[in-house]
Amino acid sequence: MNSIILGTGRYLPSNVVTNHDLAQRMDTNHEWIVERTGIHERRFAIPGVDTTASMGTEAAKRALDAAGLSPHDVDLILFATLSPDYYFPGPGVQLQHNLGCRTIGAIDIRNQCSGFVYALSIADQYLRNGAANHVLVVGSELHSGGLDMSTRGRNVSVIFGDGAGAVVLGRTDEPGRGLLSTHLHSQGEHAEELALLGPSTRDWIPEIIQRNDPEDVSYFPRMNGNFVFKHAVVRFAEVIEEALTSNQLSTSDLRLLIPHQANLRIAQFIQQKLGLREDQVYNNIMRYGNTTAASIPIALSEAFDEGRIQKGDLLMMAAFGSGFTWGSALMRW
């Protein structure tokens, strides 16, 4: 019996922020952003309305509706995010409460851009061994409140957007269908190349205040963009080939690749490197920016609603990001 996705859902805040809007706040321009990232606009949470937990809840409700299930049917919650409402507890428990689930387990996943793929891998273990019948996997991110919107932070802040995506997984006894494999990787030596360093337990708020250094912006994400780009294109291709090889499949078998929406240039590079046709790769970063752990479930939900994935299609989900972490999930829909 394989794990299978029974329903998908997504929630995007209604607040559309264009590149021109960002250019009002920092020294950047539409052409630069489109040329380097492919992004035209993104959504920013509405303060007081959208939070990481609330967006995740809405996406989860839609996924449950699509699956024809109720919150009482859920046996386990997996919530992937790097931008929780609170430092602790993580948003998994908020989701359990908001949905009115039974007092089931709620696990928080913090593997950044790879969070959704990591969560799928864990869900698969629970479903295969019978410990759960239905697992709810959510990716939700609220980046906008924590980005440096001055020119100093422009290399990072133009990339990210807010939103949430969710799936409900169950089991199928149809031979060959469902989740065929997951592969996970990490390389912590590059942890600080894409990170938010503080405040943290090794550099807490009193220490930061004591330094009284106006240049200290450790509370904003930092990214060595070139370094991340070079590693991303290698690891994405590697992990996709690893999944295909271990299932004795090839790129021509793929109906759709949904890469984590990091940067359109990265996705195009992988497409070329693997010799995939344009219709074999799903991209929506143009409209939503990089929503980290939410990007794959948002794209999956959209691709499904657009009819881009049909029963029997081979679907590859692959991610790379901060950690570094990367991984794949290969599924026969």
The residues that touch ligand ACO, with contacts defined as CB under 6 A, are 28, 32-33, 36-37, 113, 154-155, 158-159, 194, 223, 225-226, 228-229, 232, 260, 262-263, 266, 290, 320-321
The one-character DSSP state at 147 is: S
Smallest gap from Cβ 228 to ligand ACO, in A, equals 4
Smallest gap from Cβ 229 to ligand ACO, in A, equals 4
Q: Which of 113, 134, 231, 263 is catalytic?
A: 113
Q: Is 98 a catalytic residue?
A: no
d(CA 36, CA 268): 12
| Closer by beta carbon to ligand ACO, 135 or else 158 | 158
Cross-strand partners of 41: 18
Smallest gap from Cβ 137 to ligand ACO, in A, equals 19
Q: Write 244-253 long-range contacts (CB < 8 A, 24+).
A: 244/316, 244/330, 246/181, 246/183, 247/180, 247/181, 247/330, 249/314, 249/330, 251/275, 251/276, 251/280, 253/314
Q: Is 113 a catalytic residue?
A: yes
d(CA 159, CA 33): 8
Smallest gap from Cβ 284 to ligand ACO, in A, equals 14
The one-character DSSP state at 199 is: S
DSSP of 34-81 = HHHH---EEE-PPTTT--HHHHHHHHHHHHHHHHT--GGG--EEEEE-
Smallest gap from Cβ 20 to ligand ACO, in A, equals 13
| Closer by beta carbon to ligand ACO, 81 or else 263 | 263
Find tokens 């295969």 and name the residue.
Answer: 128
DSSP of 286-324 = HHH-B-GGGHHHHHHHHHHHTT-S-TT-EEEEEEEETTT
Q: Which of 257, 260, 264, 267 is nearest to 309 (CA)?
A: 257
Smallest gap from Cβ 23 to ligand ACO, in A, equals 8
Q: Is 290 a catalytic residue?
A: yes
Judging by DSSP bridges, how do beta strands 163-172 and 2-11 pair with one another?
antiparallel
> Taking a C-beta distance cutoff of 8 angstroms, is the pair 259, 319 a contact?
yes
Active site residues: 113, 260, 290
